[in-house]
């Protein structure tokens, strides 16, 4: 399938790279864009993609149905995939993505992670931010911590949002106020 899409890599090459990355960075969040329903994609090829994603522990997927673009070689291919099949495959991969994202987040439950709060949550005195491995975390803290580097204990993992408890501000971190002075 990748060859028909004119990609310059193979699944085995991608697999080798992922294994090396996971070996040196065990908590690495690996996401991928996945296009389903490219002309000629068989159910077996789709299942191969599904199994590959499952076996390699992606933390999240961005799934898109192939859409025909006039003037491209793929648009001239005669074995276009029916929209209902594409939609079914998209939904199957989105369901898998949700499952993998929850499994990935659960690996960090109970851990204290660094978070940069980005905004106030819509409810109460809560802030929302991201860890360095792209976990979205909500925790109770004062608004003045937005933009600071803080430590948060992950109390309840979930997707798309994890719940945490503020632990401390990381001292001597490059602060947003300093960033504004240097720009």
Q: What is the pLDDT of residues 60-84, one digit of tens each?
A: 999 999 988 788 777 777 888 899 9
Q: Counting beta carbons within 10 angstroms of the beta carbon of residue 101, is it exposed (0 to 12), middle (13 to 18) or buried (19 or more)?
A: buried
Question: What confidence score (pLDDT) does residue 2 get?
Answer: 47
Cβ pair 93, 127 in contact under 8 A: no
Q: Which residues fall within 8 angstroms of residue 116, CB to CB, at 6 or more apart?
A: 129, 130, 147, 148, 149, 150
Q: What are phi and psi of 58, to 5 degrees?
A: -60, 150
User: What DSSP state is assigned to residue 72?
Assistant: S
- 47-55: average pLDDT: 94
Structure tokens at 20: 């090396």
The per-residue pLDDT for 179 is 52
Over 80: is that where the pLDDT of 178 sits? Answer: no
- Once rounded to an integer, what is the mean pLDDT over residues 36-44? 91
Q: Which of 53, 64, 62, 63 is nearest to 14 (CA)?
A: 53
Condensed to tens digits (0 to 9), the pLDDT of residues 69-127 reads 788 777 777 888 899 999 999 999 999 999 999 999 999 999 999 999 999 998 888 99
Average pLDDT over the chain reads 88
């Amino acid at each position: 399938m990748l060859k028909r899409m004119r990609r310059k890599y193979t699944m085995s090459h991608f697999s080798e790279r992922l294994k090396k990355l996971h070996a040196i960075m065990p908590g690495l969040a690996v996401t991928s864009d996945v296009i389903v329903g490219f002309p000629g994609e068989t159910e077996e090829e789709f299942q191969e993609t599904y199994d590959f994603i499952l076996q390699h522990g992606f933390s999240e997927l961005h799934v898109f149905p192939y859409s025909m673009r006039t003037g491209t070689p793929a648009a001239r291919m005669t074995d276009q995939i029916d929209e209902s099949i594409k939609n079914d495959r998209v939904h199957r991969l989105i369901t898998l993505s949700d499952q993998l994202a929850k499994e990935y987040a659960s690996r960090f439950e109970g851990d204290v992670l660094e978070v940069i709060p980005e905004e106030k949550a819509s409810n109460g005195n809560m802030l929302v931010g991201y860890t360095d491995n792209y976990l979205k975390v909500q925790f109770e803290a004062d608004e003045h911590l937005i933009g600071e580097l803080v430590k948060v204990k992950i109390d309840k993992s979930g997707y798309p949002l994890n719940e945490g408890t503020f632990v401390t501000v990381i001292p001597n971190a490059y602060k947003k106020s300093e960033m504004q002075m240097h720009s």
